[in-house]
Amino acid sequence: MAALSIFPTTFSAEAAAAVAGATLLDLDALCEKSLLQQHHEQERYIMHSLVRQFAAEKLVERAPVVQRALVAHFHRFARLHQADYARLQPEWANLSSAVAMAHALADWPAVLDLVQTLDDPWFRQIRFQDMRAGLALAVGAARALEDEPALARTLLRLGEIETELNDYAAADAHLAEALNRCMRLEEGPGIAQARYLLGRIKSEQGEDAQALQLFEESRRLFEEENDRLGVARNLNLIAVCHVKKYRDFQAAQAYLEEAVAVQRRLPASSIYVETLRYLARAQMMRQAYGEAETSLFEASKVSQELHDIGEYAAVLYERLLLYKLRHRWDDALTVGYECLDNFHKLGSLRWEGLIQTQLGLLHQAKEEYEQALVLLTQGLHIFREVADRYEQAYSYYYLHRLYAQMGKTEESLQARRHALRLNAELQDPQLTEQLK
**Percent of the chain's residues with pLDDT above 90:** 83
| pLDDT value of position 15 | 97
| pLDDT value of position 224 | 95
Q: Which phi and psi (to 5°) does residue 7 adopt?
A: -75, 125
| Cβ neighbours for 410, distance < 8 A, ≥ 6 positions apart | none
In the β-sheet with 37-39, what is the strand arrangement from edge to edge?
A: 11-12, 44-46, 37-39
pLDDT in tens, 24-82: 999 999 999 999 999 877 789 999 999 999 999 998 889 999 999 999 999 999 999 99
* Least confidently predicted of 108-117, 124-133, 308-317, 325-334: 124-133
| pLDDT value of position 189 | 96
pLDDT in tens, 82-99: 989 889 989 999 999 999
pLDDT in tens, 357-379: 999 999 999 999 999 999 999 99
**Percent of the chain's residues with pLDDT above 70:** 100
Global pTM reads 0.75
- pLDDT, average across residues 137-153: 98
Confidence of residue 289 (pLDDT cuts 50, 70, 90): very high
| pLDDT value of position 125 | 75
Q: What is the DSSP string of 147-175?
A: -HHHHHHHHHHHHHHHHHTT-HHHHHHHH
User: Where do the domains of the chain lie?
Assistant: 1-58, 348-436
State yes or no: pLDDT of 266 exceeds 90.
yes
Helices 309-325 and 329-346: angle between axes, nearest 10 degrees: 160
pLDDT in tens, 200-255: 999 988 898 999 999 999 999 999 999 999 999 999 999 999 988 888 999 999 99
| pLDDT value of position 269 | 94
Helix (H, G, I), strand (E, B) or coil at 134: helix
- pLDDT, average across residues 285-289: 93
Confidence of residue 127 (pLDDT cuts 50, 70, 90): confident
Write down the CATH superfamily of domain 348-436: Tetratricopeptide repeat domain (1.25.40.10)
| Distance from C-alpha of 166 to C-alpha of 290, rounded to nearest angstrom | 34
- pLDDT, average across residues 427-433: 88
Nearest to residue 355, comparing CAs of 327, 392, 314?
Answer: 314
| Distance from C-alpha of 98 to C-alpha of 306, rounded to nearest angstrom | 26
Helix (H, G, I), strand (E, B) or coil at 220: helix
Nearest to residue 27, comparing CAs of 56, 3, 63, 53?
Answer: 3
Q: Which residue has the higher pLDDT, 262 or 427?
A: 262
* Average of per-residue pLDDT values in the chain: 94
Q: 198 with 172: CB under 8 angstroms?
A: yes
| pLDDT value of position 233 | 96
State yes or no: pLDDT of 310 exceeds 90.
no
